[in-house]
Structure 1
Amino acid sequence: MPAQETLTSLKTAYADRVAADLADNTAEQDRIRAEIEHLQAQLDGLEADHALLKDMSAALGNTTAAVPQPRRGTKKAATTAAKKTAVKKAAPKMTTTKAGEDKGPSLTDLIHIHLTGQSEPRTAQEITRALAEAHPGRNVNVNLVRTTTERLVGRSRVERVKQGSTVYYTAQAAADSGDADAEKATAGVS
């Protein structure tokens, strides 16, 4: 092969590879932007819940409890905080939209209420399906339900049992009167 043909074929091969790498890079950027938007929406919800819980705590006269302030920082720190933040439940919370109208109980409360009413353990997929049918206006997906249900496991409000590769969830009985009072208040909301 003459040197000119070799140079042309190498140049074409490199150009094709660079074009493919650019397309992959653009697709990855789009995927990460979508993930950041999703995490930012979760962080916004957690911050709104935090403010509401602080107000409720103050209204209940609980001035002795130390209330941690949300972390502020760069977008990178904000997305990391969205992954690690867990809000302690002081009372049933109501979620609100940016316009301020009431959307009803939080997803955490909806999942716990649903599991409390079940006689058998449920998978995250089954919980998602039931909540999507009961609350068609809510954004409910299986990953969000699984994450929220795992948070309830961490709070000892839900029990997790793994059978093979399938994970089942069951509501725990209220351990103290604070949880029982919260459940009564939540039941009246739904």
Structure 2
Amino acid sequence: MNNTDSASQSVQTMYAERFATDLTDNRAEQKELTAQIERLRARLEQLRVDETWLTGMQAALPGETAPPRPRRAPRTGVEPAEGDAPAGTPVPGPRPAGRAKARPSRARASGKKAAPTAGAPLHQLIRALMPLGEPRLVREVHADLTKAHPERGTSVQVVRNTLEILVKRGVVGKGIQKGTAMYTATAPAAPEGGEAPVAG
């Protein structure tokens, strides 16, 4: 009887250890798959953002009379930050009372001195950040754009594509230094609201 009980306990112990090992492996795999799913979701979201900007850049290619306006969230009565609307653009809807009433007039009075807004075409923002005649790396241009316009959320690849379009327009020159592409502004930045000049 003792031998039988001992053998039974040994079998139970063996299965208990196996089940514990299998359960640990199962939970580890679940954790790994969950992390992969989160990374894929983040990548998908970035691709969607890139698609939006690429679509806008495609529409801004030569031949377009004006760049498409980016979609804006519907107004909820919250006062926009100063500089959100391009200079000279009337604000639709009733104007809020008080100090906010004077803000659009100041933006209109500033004219060309106003900084490019978040609604400006991406190529215009990038060109405005590039000093004339100074070679820049794509990542440097992307870093400057992210710092100046964090709300744009543009990827390095979108910035590279935009620079290539500016190269084709003759506004930006491209050279290779030590195997790395360098982009240099060769024409003055266009005034706010205007298109960059096309070479030729």
TM-score range (shorter-chain normalised) is 0.5 to 0.7
Which of these two proteins has the greater Rg computed from alpha carbons?
A: 2
- Contact 2:132 2:186 (C-alpha < 8 Å) held by counterparts: no
- The Cα of 1:22 is off from its aligned counterpart by 0.7
Which stretches in structure 2 are left out of the alignment for 5+ residues?
A: 1-6, 75-84, 87-117, 195-200
- 1:11 aligns with 19
* Aligned-residue RMSD, C-alpha: 3.7
Moved over 6 A (4+): none
Q: Counterparts of 1:158 and 1:4 in 2: how far apart (Å)?
A: 75
What is the rounded CA distance, in whole Å, between the counterparts of 1:105 and 1:144 in structure 2?
15
Q: 2:176 aligns with which of 156, 161, 164?
A: 161
The count of corresponding residues between Structure 1 and Structure 2 is 143
Please give the residue correspondences for 1:30-49 in structure 2 after superposition, counting only pairs within 5 Å.
30-47=38-55
- For 2:21 and 2:168, the matched residues in 1 are separated by 53
Q: Whose helix fraction is larger, Structure 1's or Structure 2's? A: 1
Structure 1 regions of 5+ residues with no counterpart?
54-86, 174-182
Task: Tell me the TM-score normalised to structure 2 length.
Answer: 0.52
What SS class does the counterpart of residue 88 from structure 1 fall into? coil
Decide whether the 8 Å contact of 1:123 with 1:167 is kept in 2: yes
CA offsets 1:90-123 (integer angstroms, 9 cap, x no match): 34625423337763322233223433x3322112
Q: Which has more strand, going by share of residues?
A: 1
Match of 2:73 among 73, 78, 99: 99
- Check if 1:90 corresponds to 2:46: no
Identity %: 27
Q: Does 1:27 align with 2:38?
A: no
- Are the equivalent residues in 1 in contact too, given 2:138–2:156 (CA < 8 A)? yes
- Taking structure 1 as the reference length, the TM-score comes to 0.54
SS of corresponding position for 2:61: coil
